[in-house]
Amino acid sequence: MVYCVGLTGGIGSGKTTVAELFSRLGIEVIHADKISRELTQKDKSAYKRILEHYGNRILLDDGELDRSKLREIIFSDPKERDWLEHLLHPLIREVIKQRVAASLSPYCMIEIPLLISKEAYPYINRILLLCAPEELQISRLMQRDQCSKEQAQAILAAQPDIEKRLDSADDIVINNRDIEQLSQKVNDLHYTYLQESKK
Ligand code: ATP
């Protein structure tokens, strides 16, 4: 299997931005969230299970899942969040594994927001953790998603424990400067990953 880097970090820490920078360097990036959306499209297997569980109240007029309603339910009830994660995570992991196995990139990157350790992904060689000061995460989220400070704070409060994340990270990028600085850090890491992937 190709050399594999897991990209993770809290909400609004800059994962999508960093993934785009690696992608511009010619690296294949696999996005767990995109796979999750694919698996929950109308009539896909996970969609059917979610519909059985919540009934029609979880649907939009066109029959697709009402994702903001689903988000509201799982952020207000940890049991529901567990239920959904138990359903989706194994399915997402399986698709990721297939895509990594088929990758022809010099190394590949998997963006997994909730990646805490390599345990569930034994083929991941390295974890790259993005961090940003909480106040920057909040202001970037408010600007990007047009949400209130309270909503941004509530989402941040539900994020995995940073200590555990730091323990399992191999590389840590603090995204507290401008995009140019971030881009420079990505270039440096890209060089390291290319070297590592050749070993
Ligand atoms: P999520 O967990 O919600 O998917 P994310 O970790 O992917 O978020 P991004 O979407 O990459 O985070 O970044 C959040 C917002 O902050 C975006 O609007 C992005 O353009 C902006 N941003 C990220 N890094 C920087 C930076 N260094 N300077 C300025 N803006 C930034």
Helix %, strand %, coil % of the chain (to 5): 55, 15, 30
Domain boundaries, the chain: 1-27+106-198, 34-104
Ligand 1 atom nearest the C-alpha of 130 is 6
Over residues 136-161, mean pLDDT: 88
pLDDT cut 70: percent of the chain above it: 100
Which residues lie with the beta carbon below 6 Å from any ligand 1 atom? 9, 11-17, 113, 140, 144, 175, 178-179, 182
Q: State yes or no: pLDDT of 90 exceeds 80.
A: yes
Q: State yes or no: pLDDT of 75 exceeds 90.
A: no
On average, the pLDDT of the chain sits at: 93
Provide the CB-side half-sphere exposure for 80 (13 A, CA): 12
For ligand 1, atom 24, the nearest C-alpha belongs to: 14
pLDDT confidence of residue 43: 86
- For a substitution probing ligand 1, which of 129, 140, 144 has the most ligand atoms within 8 Å of its CB? 140
Of 3.40.50.300, 3.40.190.10, 3.10.20.30, 2.40.40.20, the CATH number of 34-104 is: 3.40.50.300
Ligand 1 atom nearest the C-alpha of 179 is 27
* Residue scoring higher pLDDT (46 or 157): 46
Look at the domain 1-27+106-198 and name its fold: Rossmann fold (3.40.50)
User: Predicted confidence band at 16 (pLDDT cuts at 50, 70, 90)?
Assistant: very high
Ligand 1 atom nearest the C-alpha of 20 is 11
Q: Please determine whether the domains at 1-27+106-198 and 34-104 fall in the same fold group of CATH.
A: yes
